Amino acid sequence: MDVKKRLQEITRARYGLELSQCGDSQLYHALLQLTQELSAARPAPTGERKLYYFSAEFLIGKLLSNNLLALGVYNEVNAALAECGKSLPNLEDAEPEPSLGNGGLGRLAACFLDSIAALGLPGDGVGLNYHYGLFQQEFRHRQQYERPNPWIEDESWLIPTGVEFEVPFGFGPVKARLFDIAVPGANSGVANRLHLFDVEQPAPAPADGIDFDKTDLPARLTSFLYPDDSDEAGRLLRVYQQYFMVSAGAQLILKELEERGCSPETLSQHVAVQINDTHPSMVIPELVRLLTQRGLSMDAAVEQVSKTCAYTNHTILAEALEKWPLSFIEKVAPQLVPILKELDARAKAAHSDSRVAILQGAAGKEIVHMAHLDIHYGYSVNGVAALHTEILKKSELKPFYDLYPAKFNNKTNGVTLRRWLEVCNPQLAALLDECVGPEWRTDPTRLNRLMDFYNDSAVLDKLLDIKAANKRRADQLFARDQYGIRLNPDAVFDIQVKRLHEYKRQQMNALYIIRKYLEIKAGKIPERPVTVVFGAKAAPAYVMAKHIIHLILCLRKLIESDPQVRPWLHVAMVENYNVTWAERLIPACDISEQISLASKEASGTGNMKFMANGAVTLGTLDGANVEIAELVGPDNIYTFGAGSNYVIELYDQKAKDSAKGYQSRVYYERPAVKPLVDFLLDPALTALGDEAALKALWTDLTTKDWFMALLDVEAYSAARDRAIADYGDRTAWARKMLVNTARSGYFSSDRTIAQYNEDIWRLS
Residues labelled catalytic: 314, 498-499, 504, 605, 609
With contacts defined by CB under 6 A, how many residues of the chain interact with ligand 26Q?
A: 19
CA angle 246, 250, 253 (to 5 degrees): 140
373, 432, 536, 602: which one binds ligand 26Q (CB under 6 A): 602
What is the distance between the alpha carbons of residues 188 and 88, in angstroms, rounded to a whole number?
23
13, 82, 320, 525: which one binds ligand 26Q (CB under 6 A): 320
- Determine, following the binding rule CB under 6 A, whether residue 226 of this chain makes contact with ligand 26Q: yes
CB 477 to ligand 26Q: min, Å? 26
3-state secondary structure 469-511: HHHHHHHHHHHHHCCCCCCCCCCEEEEEECCCCHHHCHHHHHH
| Piece of 115-123, 199-207, 595-603, 625-633 that binds ligand 26Q (CB under 6 A) | 595-603
What is the distance between the alpha carbons of residues 586 and 590, in angstroms, rounded to a whole number?
9
What is the distance between the alpha carbons of residues 382 and 108, in angstroms, rounded to a whole number?
14
Q: Which residues pair with 619 in a beta bridge?
A: 594, 639
CB 668 to ligand 26Q: min, Å? 28
45, 61, 104, 535: which one binds ligand 26Q (CB under 6 A): 104
CB 105 to ligand 26Q: min, Å? 3
> Around 214, how many Cα atoms within 13 Å sit in the side-chain half-sphere?
20
* Long-range contacts at 21-26 (CB < 8 A, ≥ 24 apart): 22/84, 24/86, 24/90, 24/91, 24/93, 24/94, 25/94
- Determine, following the binding rule CB under 6 A, whether residue 322 of this chain makes contact with ligand 26Q: yes
What is the distance between the alpha carbons of residues 182 and 42, in angstroms, rounded to a whole number?
10
CB 384 to ligand 26Q: min, Å? 4
Q: Report the site for ligand 26Q in 377-396 (rule: CB under 6 A).
A: 384
3-state secondary structure 265-293: HHHHHHEEEEEECCCCCCHHHHHHHHHHH
Instruction: Name which of 296 and 602 has its Cβ closer to ligand 26Q.
Output: 602
Instruction: Name which of 315 and 664 has its Cβ closer to ligand 26Q.
Output: 315
45, 61, 98, 103: which one binds ligand 26Q (CB under 6 A): 103
Asked if residue 700 lies in contact with residue 502, where contact means CB atoms within 8 angstroms, the answer is no
CB 615 to ligand 26Q: min, Å? 17
73, 105, 397, 514: which one binds ligand 26Q (CB under 6 A): 105
Q: Please count the helices (runs of H) and the strands (runs of E) in the chain.
A: 31, 20
Instruction: Name which of 104 and 489 has its Cβ closer to ligand 26Q.
Output: 104
| Piece of 81-89, 100-108, 216-224, 733-741 that binds ligand 26Q (CB under 6 A) | 100-108
- Determine, following the binding rule CB under 6 A, whether residue 751 of this chain makes contact with ligand 26Q: no
Residue nearest to ligand 26Q (CB): 104
User: How far, in whole angstroms, is CA 95 from its chain's centroid?
Assistant: 20
User: Nearest-CA neighbor of 169 among 119, 260, 108, 237?
Assistant: 237
- Determine, following the binding rule CB under 6 A, whether residue 137 of this chain makes contact with ligand 26Q: no
User: Nearest-CA neighbor of 224 among 145, 130, 151?
Assistant: 130
Pairing of strands 616-619, 591-594: parallel
Q: Report the site for ligand 26Q in 569-588 (rule: CB under 6 A).
A: none
Asked if residue 316 lies in contact with residue 600, where contact means CB atoms within 8 angstroms, the answer is yes
| Piece of 96-104, 553-561, 625-633, 652-660 that binds ligand 26Q (CB under 6 A) | 96-104
30, 108, 203, 491: which one binds ligand 26Q (CB under 6 A): 108
x/- mask, ligand 26Q, residues 606-625, rule CB under 6 A, reads -----------------x--
137, 315, 639, 740: which one binds ligand 26Q (CB under 6 A): 315
11, 413, 664, 741: which one binds ligand 26Q (CB under 6 A): 413
Rg from Cα positions in the chain: 26
Asked if residue 412 lies in contact with residue 628, where contact means CB atoms within 8 angstroms, the answer is no
- Determine, following the binding rule CB under 6 A, whether residue 605 of this chain makes contact with ligand 26Q: yes
Question: Residues interacting with ligand 26Q, by CB under 6 A?
Answer: 102-105, 108, 226, 229, 314-315, 320, 322, 384, 413, 601-605, 623
